Amino acid sequence: MKKFIVTLVMATLLLPGNVLAAEKIKLAALGDFPPFQYREKSQMTGIDVDMAREVCKRLGIEPEFKVVPWKRALKIAKKGDVTGILTALHK
């Protein structure tokens, strides 16, 4: 299961063509969705954040997390201000 999730995250990050050319990748994060993503001492952490960091590390890309509400995450992803959204789940 872990390999599947890592593969899925890697595939998602590789979809946009400009990702590998960039030194930094911007990812929208909901910020308060433990254990997947949350703030701890003003630092993003959690399962999704750790996986995204590991994938980026292996690709030689620096991840930058932008904490926003769900609707804004969708809006800025469609607009192209971020490359992807961590934990794209919604009720």
CATH classification of the domain holding 70:
3.40.190.10
Kindly report the pTM of this predicted structure.
0.69
Q: What is the DSSP letter of 80?
A: T
Residue 77 sits in which domain range?
2-85
In a domain, 74, yes or no: yes
Number of domains in the chain: 1
Phi/psi zone of residue 41: left (φ > 0), alpha (ψ -120 to 50 degrees), beta? left
In a domain, 91, yes or no: no
In a domain, 90, yes or no: no
In a domain, 68, yes or no: yes
DSSP letters spanning 1-57: -HHHHHHHHHHHHHSSTTTTT-SEEEEEE-SEETTTEEEETTEEESHHHHHHHHHHH
In the prediction, which pLDDT does 50 show?
A: 93
In the prediction, which pLDDT does 26 show?
A: 94
Confidence category of residue 82, pLDDT binned at 50, 70, 90: very high
In a domain, 16, yes or no: yes
What percent of the chain shows pLDDT beyond 70?
71
